[in-house]
Structure 1
C-alpha cells in the first residue's frame, strides 16, 4: 500500500485529487497523512528506501490567493522532458523556469518538479473557470480563454498524460505494483432539442426555415427535405426530417452500443428550448420506444437552468414523472445542459441536489477537445464549499456542430477530425463521448459521417 505524505493545507482538496488519480484512475490502494512539509512524498508501506517526491504549488496557495487571479499558472508554461517520452509535458504548476530539466526515472528517489496533483486538480475542477470572468454571449466560458487552448494542449487529455507519468514513476520505483485494467467506451448521446421538425410549426414557419437553409446556410438538401413537410399533418411524422430515432437506435444496436437521449422537460426561454412538451403523445410514445429498445433516457435542462438549482430539480422531477407514466425505470439518470450553459461549481451542485448521477456537459461549444483534460469519467468537487460530490462528470469530447459547421468541410475531413479525438481516448483506454443531435442528420453528409463514426471507429 502506498503512503502519501502531504502538506497540512487544504486536506479536503488533497484527499479528493488523491482519490481520483490513485483510486479512480489507477486503482491503487493508499493511505494519506498530513505533515508540516512543502512537498508531497510517496513511499511504499514496509520500509522500502524508494521514494517519489513531487512539487506542491497550487494546493499550498494562501487563502488570500485561493480562487484569485494571482493563483493561476504563470505563462508561458514550462515544458518537462521525461526520459522515454517522445513529447514534452506542459507544466501547469511546478518549480523551475522554462525549460525545466529532464526528468529521469532513477532510483531510489525520484524528484519531480511538476506539481502533478495540483495540476490535475486545476483541470478536473475547472479552477480557472471560477477565477476568470470571461464569458461568451450565452454566458459560457470561451474555449479560447482556457489555458489548454492558449498553451496548445486542448486537443490532448493532459490529465491522462499526467496520470501515465505518475504510473511510470510509481512502477519504476515499485515494479510489484498493479494498476486496474480499463476498457475504452464509446458513449453516444443525443440532445433532443427538436424531436420533430414539423411539430407546432405553421406552413409559413416551415417555409421560412427552408428558405434560411438555402440563403443563409447554403444547405439545399436540408431545405428540400424540410419544405416537403409543408401541408403535412403534425400527427404524420414518418417523413419528418428530424425523426431519425429509429435509424439512430438501429445503428447503435448493430454496433452493440446504447444511445442516450436527453429531453427538455420545460421551457424557460421560448424559441430556444425546443418545440415540444413532455405530455405530448408523440413524446410519450417516443420515450417508450427508446426504453423498450434498451436505450437510455436523460435530462436536458433548459436554457435558463444552469444557475437555478430549483429549476433543475423541477425539470428532473418532470422527467421522472413522465417516465413513471410510461412505465420507464432506470438505475441511473444523467444528461447535459442545453446550449452547454454551465458554471463552476454552481451547476454541478444543482445537479447533485436534484439527485442526478452524472453530467456530460463539459465539452467546448465551439471546438472539439478535452476541456477537463481527461477522457475518464470522474467524481466532481465543489470549489466553493470544498466538498467532494457524488455527481460524476462524463466529459464531452466531440459535439457534431463543432466539426460539421466548419465551412466547406468534406465527409473525409469531418470523419478524420472526429477520428483523431477517438484515437486519443483509445490511447488511454478512455471514454469517447460523442454528442450528435437527432435534428442534425438531415443532410446526406451528416448521416454518412455519423454512420461511419458508429461503424468504423473501433
Structure 2
C-alpha cells in the first residue's frame, strides 16, 4: 500500500490518486495528515504538499487539487521525454510535473465546463481541447504519466513488486437502426420510396423492394457476422440499441415490433447489451427513464450501460441523470470525428462532479476511435496505419482499447469498404506480443 502525506486531504486528491495508483497501477493508496504516521509507515510512501519533509519521495502539489469549483487555471504545456505535460513544479520535486493535478484536469473534463464553441449538435469538439491544440490527443497521457510515476517509485523502492496489467479491448457496436428497409412501417416505406424516385436513386429503390419481398438481405442486418466474430473472441462485445421514439434525430425501429425485440434478445444471448439513448433523452430525464424501463423489459434484467445519441454530453447534467436512474456505466465520452483520448486515459474512470465536489459511482468508459473518424482517411492502408498506431499507444501502457463501430459499418456499402478488416485488426491485437 502507498501512503500519501498531504497537509489537507480533499475529495479531488482522493479521486485522482485512486485513479492513477489503484485503477492504472493496481496498488492501494491511503492518506494521512500526521507526520508520525507517515514516518512509521514501512512500505511505499510519498509526500504531496508544497514542501518536502526531508529526503522522502516528494511531489510538489499544484493548487487545483485543494480548490473548490472552477477557477482560471494557467496551463503551459511542456515537452516531457516522449510526451507532453503541464503544471511544472520545479527541480526539488521527485517528478518535474504535478501529474496528479494534470490528470485531474483531464479526467474531470474541467475544460468542458469552461466557455467554448460547440458544434451544430451542441457538442464539445476536439479542436477546442488542449489535447488537440497542443498535439497530445493521440496519447493516453494520464496512463503514460502513471507509468512514469511507477518508474520513479521503483527507483526509490526497488524491492516492491507492482502488479502487472494486460492490454485488452472492449468493442462497441452502436445500433441507431437495426435495419435499413425492414420494419419501417407503411408510411416511412412510402416516404422512402418517393424520396428514391425524386432523387433518381433507382438502385436503392430496387434494393428496398427486394429486401421487403424477402429476396435480398437488408444491408444493415449484419448481426450474424458480428455474433460469429464474438464467438471467436474472448472479449465481450457491447451493443447499444436505440429503442426511443421516432423523431427528427432518431429514426430507429419501433421498439414494439416483435421481430426487433427478438433480435435484441438474440444478440443479448452472446454479447452485452446497453441502451443507446435518444437525442431528446439526453436532456429530459423522464424520456430517459421511459427508455430505460423499455430496455429492461426487453432484457428482463436491470440496465447497466448507456451511450448517448450523437455522442452528445451536457456536463454535468447528462451524467447526473444516469446516476439518478442507477445506470452504472457510460460510453459516450469520445470524439466522433477525431481518433484519440478525450479524457487523456485508456483506463475506465469514475465521473467526478465538479459542482458538488464529489466522486460519483458512474464509471466512464471513454472510447478512442469511432468508425466515422476513419472516413476522412482516404486509403485502406492509411486507415490501418491509424488503427495500428492507436493500438500501439494503448499497448505501451497495457490499457483498454474501446473502439465504436456501427452495425451498418459491416455492410457491403462502398464507403465502409475495408472496415471488416480494420475490425479484425483490433480483434487480433490481443493475440499479438
Q: What residue in structure 2 maps to residue 218 of structure 1?
A: none
How many residue pairs align between the two structures?
413
Q: Which residue of 2 aligns with 1:427?
A: 396
CA apart distance, 1:430:
1.0
Deviating more after overlay: 173-182 vs 48-57: 48-57
Higher helix share: 2
2:131 aligns with 148
Distance (whole Å) between structure 2 residues aligned to residue 172 and residue 57 of structure 1: 24
Query: 1:401-448: per-residue Cα shift (whole Å, max 9, x none)?
Result: 0112x16x1222212212211221122111111111112333256253
Are the aligned partners of 1:43 and 1:50 in contact in 2 as well (CA < 8 Å)?
no
Aligned with 1:349: secondary structure?
Answer: helix
Q: CA deviation at 1:241?
A: 0.5
TM-score, structure 2 length as denominator? 0.86
Residues 111-170 of structure 1 deviation map (CA, whole Å, 9 limit, x = unaligned): 323111111111111111012333111111111010000010000011011101110111
| 1:37-48 map, 5 Å | 45-46=41-42
In the TM superposition, residue 228 of structure 1 has moved relative to its aligned partner by: 3.4
Q: 2:147 aligns with which of 164, 176, 179?
A: 164
Q: Is the 8 A contact 2:374 2:383 kept in 1?
A: yes
Residues 208-229 of structure 1: CA deviation (Å, up to 9, x unaligned): 4698798xxxxxxxx94x4433
Change (3 A) 1:62 1:124: closer
Q: Match for 1:279 among 256, 279, 288?
A: 256
- Per the TM alignment, residue 303 of structure 1 is displaced from its structure 2 partner at its CA by 0.8
Shift of 1:233: 6.4
1:214-229 correspondence runs (5 A): 224=203, 226-229=204-207
Q: CA deviation at 1:91?
A: 2.4
- What displacement does 1:398 show? 0.4
Kept in 2, the 8 Å contact 1:157–1:374? The answer is yes
Change (3 A) 1:237 1:17: farther
Deviations 1:294-333 (Å, cap 9, x if unpaired)?
Answer: 2111111111222333332332121101222xxxx47x72
Which whole-Å deviations, capped at 9, do the CAs of 1:339-380 have from their partners, x for residues lacking one? 000022222222111111211111112211100111111222
Equivalents in 2 of 1:51, 1:127: separation in Å? 31
In the aligned structure 1, how far is the partner of 2:55 from the partner of 2:6? 17
Indicate the residue corresponding to 1:113 in structure 2: 96
Distance 1:410 1:44 in 2: 61
Report if aligned partners of 1:4, 1:33 keep a CA contact under 8 Å in 2. yes
Give the one of 317, 323, 329 matched to 1:352: 323
Which whole-Å CA distance do the structure 1 matches of 2:160 and 2:349 have between them? 22
The corresponding residue for 1:297 is 273
Confirm or deny: 8 A CA contact 1:3 1:32 kept in the other structure: yes
Aligned twin of 2:420? 450
Matched, 1:26 2:13: no
What is the aligned partner in structure 2 of residue 249 from structure 1?
227
Gaps of 5+ in 2: 46-53
Question: CA offsets per residue over residues 15-44 of structure 1, 9 Å max, x none?
Answer: 1111111122112123202479xxxxx988
SS in structure 2 of the partner of residue 298 of structure 1: strand
2:344 to 373, 384, 392: 373
Tell me the TM-score normalised to structure 1 length.
0.82
Q: Does the 8 Å contact 1:207/1:227 carry over to 2?
A: no
For 2:200 and 2:3, the matched residues in 1 are separated by 61
> Given that residues 255 and 454 in structure 1 are in contact (C-alpha distance below 8 angstroms), is that contact kept between their aligned partners in structure 2?
no
